[in-house]
Amino acid sequence: MKTILCFGDSNTWGYSPDLERRYNEYERWTMLLQSQLMNKYRIIEEGLNSRTTVFDDPFEAGKNGLDYLLPCLGSHHPDLVLIMLGTNDLKSRYHVTASDISKGAARLVEVVKNFKNNFMEKPPEVLLISPAHVLELDNGKEGWDGAQAKSEQFAYYYELRAQELECHFLDAAEFIEPCAKEGIHWHAEQHQKLANKLSELIPTLLSSS
């Protein structure tokens, strides 16, 4: 059985834009993916609200993805790591460009590709997922100034990083749309779309490993 680590933020955790609860195992994309892949693959959910690629949040501790990735790899020894981070890096407090955010994501890819353990024949495969766009709305998202324009540049820079590091790439913005009223998180049908796409893609990534 192959192990797949899904390393992401609130849209991996299952944050709903309009419900006062977390999406359950029949709604969030990670568990939908598990149900579609059945018992050939084991999905490890590793989503954290407000997680960044490499940046320390000045207001919330423990959100730096780089700090947690290596011990997470050591715990699970995955065959494939899905990295979908960068949305929270768009917050005004970090003052970084879309290019810089893609380089943060690339740093995570490097950690995975360099992970070695005596119990593993080789490092995990990596699928770098360029996050869906965010929307700047009239109702106002404090601290997200300029986020939409930056998010619309993600695919270009993330694909460049994937080419440089020779890892797999997927642009989530090609088929995922955020909530039109909230602007950041996804409705349940978008989780289903991602699960459907990944259930088709993942067997091709691991077929020769």
pTM greater than 0.75: yes
Number of domains in the chain: 1
pLDDT digit string (tens) for 136-192? Answer: 876 556 789 999 999 999 999 999 999 999 999 999 999 999 999 999 999 999 999
- Distance between CA atoms of 79 and 101, rounded to whole angstroms? 25
- 169 lies in which domain range? 2-206
- Distance between CA atoms of 30 and 44, rounded to whole angstroms? 8
Mean pLDDT in consecutive groups of 10 residues from the start of the chain, 209 residues: 97 96 97 94 98 97 97 96 98 96 98 90 95 82 88 98 98 97 96 98 82
Q: Which of 129, 121, 151, 133 is nearest to 201 (CA)?
A: 129
Amino acid 140: pLDDT: 53
Q: What is the 3-state secondary structure (H, E, C) of the chain?
A: CEEEEEEECHHHHCECCCCCCECCCCCCHHHHHHHHHHHHEEEEEEECCCCECCCCCCCCCCCEHHHHHHHHHHHHCCCEEEEECCCHHHCHHHCCCHHHHHHHHHHHHHHHHCCCCCCCCCCCEEEEEECCCCCCCCCCCCCCCCHHHHHCCHHHHHHHHHHHHCCEEEEHHHCCCCCCCCCCCCCHHHHHHHHHHHHHHHHHHHCCC
**Cβ proximity of 199 and 33 under 8 Å:** yes
Write the CATH number for 167: 3.40.50.1110
